[in-house]
Amino acid sequence: MNGEHRQQPLLLGGFEIYQNWLNVDMQAGLIEAARNVAAAAPLFRPETRFGKQMSVRMTSAGHWGWIADAGGYRYAPRHPSGVEWPPIPEPLIEIWQVLTGLERQPDSCLINFYGENARMGLHQDKDEASFEWPVLSISLGDDALFRIGGTERRAPTQSVWLRSGDVVIMGGAARLRHHGVDRIRHGSSRLLPDGGRVNLTLRIVEA
C-alpha cells in the first residue's frame, strides 16, 4: 500500500477519495484475488427490475452477494448458480480495517467488471439492513468517470475521474447519495491486458 490512514483524502460531495492509495503490486494482487473469486462464483450479468440486462458483469465474495433479476434487487446467500460465495480475500479485509478504523468486518464484497461500453446509472446503495456503516470502493484498471449526486435523484451532480489504485469511502451524510459511473476510459490502464475496470466494494449487509 502506498497510502496510510493519515493521508488526506479528496473530499467531493461527502465522499472521501484516497487517490493512488494502492501501489501497482497491491493492485495486481487484488486483480488476482478477484479472478480467484470469479473462478469459484462466475461473473454474471444482472437484470434490472424491468428485465433489461445491466452492462456490467459481477460476482461477490463473503456471507452475502448482491443479485438482481425479475424478483428485484437484493442480497442473497448464494450465487445464482447455487454455489456459495467464496470468502472475502484477506487483503481486502486489511484495507477495510486501515481506512475505516472499524473493528466490525464487512460481510460482502461486490466485484463489478466494466468492459469498454459499460456504465452504471445513478443509484443509491440501500439494500443493506443499516446505513450507519460506510461502503468502501476500490478502483482497478481503466479510469472511470464517477458521478456524485444528492439524496434526491434530481439533485445537481459533480464528477471526478477515478483511477487504478484509488479508494473511495462513502459514509456518514454521504451514505445515501446517488452515484454512478458514466463511462470508462478504455485502455487507460495496463493493469488488465485487454482493458476494462474492476470495482470492488466492501459492505456491511447485516444489521
Tens digit of each residue's pLDDT (9 = 90 or more) over 150-169:
999 999 999 999 999 999 99
Residue showing cell 448482491: 66
Side chain identity, residue 166: D
Per-residue pLDDT, 99: 97
Per-residue pLDDT, 7: 78
Per-residue pLDDT, 71: 84
124-135 tens-digit pLDDT:
999 999 999 999
Mean pLDDT value across residues 181-204: 97
Kindly give the interhelix angle for 90-100 and 24-40, rounded to the nearest 10 degrees.
Answer: 130
Per-residue pLDDT, 158: 97
pLDDT at 5 over 70: no
Per-residue pLDDT, 6: 56
Instruction: Choose among 112, 110, 114: nearest CA to 127.
Output: 110
Per-residue pLDDT, 70: 82
3-state secondary structure the chain: CCCCCCCCCEEECCEEEECCCCCHHHHHHHHHHHHHHHHHCCCECCECCCCCECCCEEEEEECCEEEEECCEEEEECECCCCCECCCCCHHHHHHHHHHHCCCCCCCEEEEEEECCCCCEEEECCCCCCCCCCCEEEEEEECEEEEEECCCCCCCCCEEEEECCCCEEEECHHHCCCCEEEEEEECCCCCCCCCCCEEEEEEECCCC
Residue 67 β-bridge partners: 74
pLDDT at 12 over 70: yes
Q: First and final CA of the chain: distance in angstroms? A: 30
78: Cα separation from own chain's centroid:
19
Side chain identity, residue 136: L
32-67 tens-digit pLDDT:
999 999 999 999 999 987 888 999 999 999 999 999
| pTM: predicted TM-score of the whole model, two decimal places | 0.95
Phi, psi (rounded to 5 degrees) for 26: -65, -40
60-115 tens-digit pLDDT:
999 999 999 888 899 999 999 999 999 999 999 999 999 999 999 999 999 999 99
Per-residue pLDDT, 116: 95
Per-residue pLDDT, 1: 58
Domains and their CATH numbers in the chain:
10-203 (2.60.120.590)
